[in-house]
Structure 1
């Protein structure tokens, strides 16, 4: 059975368009700073989300600007880790999704 266009849009909205949730989740689980490339690989491995590299980098840069991530440069390599603000935003985002799901359940 093929997906409807509506279901395809929903999947995109809950994955690609909200990568920040998945990125924070990976970082919280890994409990160590990660490179942007490593995050892209883990998105594919753990969540079966395979966005273009430019999308991942754009989201990471935006998250850094918004204070959800902090950037660290070690020996010319750039790593990112979540801030307390980022972890709190993640928790609020998951709570919002849970509340929305509870309202939609049959």
Structure 2
């Protein structure tokens, strides 16, 4: 059971990030914190940023820098239409899988 939990969380962060980004743009650290708060587990730091880079490169999220008073600018991620479509595909897949397993 530990393996399936790891596979559907730590090794598959992107659906969680896209789900959170549907609500509002967020920066990387904030996404990690919100994942822990909402889903009950905290993604590894390096993996999180690799996933965000991959989502950006694939066109699933866009990036914008926001200045802050007296602090370094933060990189905010925002889900795109392509990202919304990918998230819906993932949700449909998990619903279908659950239905088959629960039958």
Judge same fold: TM > 0.5, yes or no: yes
Deviation readout 1:51-105 (Å, 9 max, x if unpaired): 2211111111111111111111122321000000001100010101111111111
Question: TM (normalized to structure 1)?
Answer: 0.86
**Higher mean displacement: 67-76 or 38-47:** 67-76
Deviation at 1:9, TM superposition (A): 1.0
Instruction: Give the strand-richer structure, 1 or 2.
Output: 2
Counting matched residue pairs gives: 98
Deviation at 1:38, TM superposition (A): 0.4
Aligned to 1:48: 40
* Aligned CA-pair RMSD: 1.1
Question: TM (normalized to structure 2)?
Answer: 0.89
2:76 paired with 1:79: yes
Structure 2 unmatched runs, 5+: 68-72
